[in-house]
Structure 1
């Protein structure tokens, strides 16, 4: 990966929080900033072609409560299941 140096102005409080996180987690500030740039670049990206996203049809409307309950069940199941070896 080719790296390009740049200068940015950031909020003082944000920079202080970044410095604390870097020190706490043993990562460089630059690593955090590269990650942030990457996330913003991906979020702002636009594709010229349509996405081929499959449509899931359950034959009836699915409520938000059903989705919430399913997610809750899966999370609960993962926390109670023994770890794989």
Structure 2
């Protein structure tokens, strides 16, 4: 991937958070900033065609109950917290 240099202005508090995250994760501050730019660019991307048409459905294997949803959300949150603390998921 070819990188291009650009300048941005950021709040001191945001830069402190970036510095902290970079140290915790063992990454450069630039890598944290690049990841943030990439994520926000993807979040605002407009697709030419819908991902799923109105006629398409997904088989999730039957009804999904509240307990299954709660467990999946809890497990996902715990895995993210472990990654954020620098531990393997």
Superposition TM-score, scaled by structure 2 size:
0.63
Q: Does 1:72 align with 2:74?
A: no
Assess, with a 3 A threshold, how the Cα gap between structure 1 residues 73 and 30 changes in structure 2: closer, same or farther: closer
What pairs with 1:1-85 in structure 2 (closer than 5 Å)? 1-52=1-52, 54-56=56-58, 67-73=65-71
Q: Which runs of 5+ in 1 are unaligned?
A: 77-85
Aligned mates of 2:3, 2:15 — CA distance in 1: 21
CA deviations 1:52-77 (Å, max 9, x no partner) are 3532489xxx7xxx64322235578x
Quickly say closer, same or farther: Cα 1:37–1:70, change in 2 above 3 A.
same
Q: Give unpaired runs (5+ residues) of structure 2.
A: 75-89
Structure 1: how far apart are the matches of 2:14 and 2:68? 37
Structure whose CA Rg is larger: 1
1:25–1:45 distance in 2 versus 1, CA, 3 Å? same
RMSD, matched Cα: 2.8
Judged with a 3 Å threshold, the aligned counterparts in structure 2 of structure 1 residues 56 and 6 are, in CA distance, closer, same or farther, namely same
Normalising by structure 1, report the TM-score. Answer: 0.65
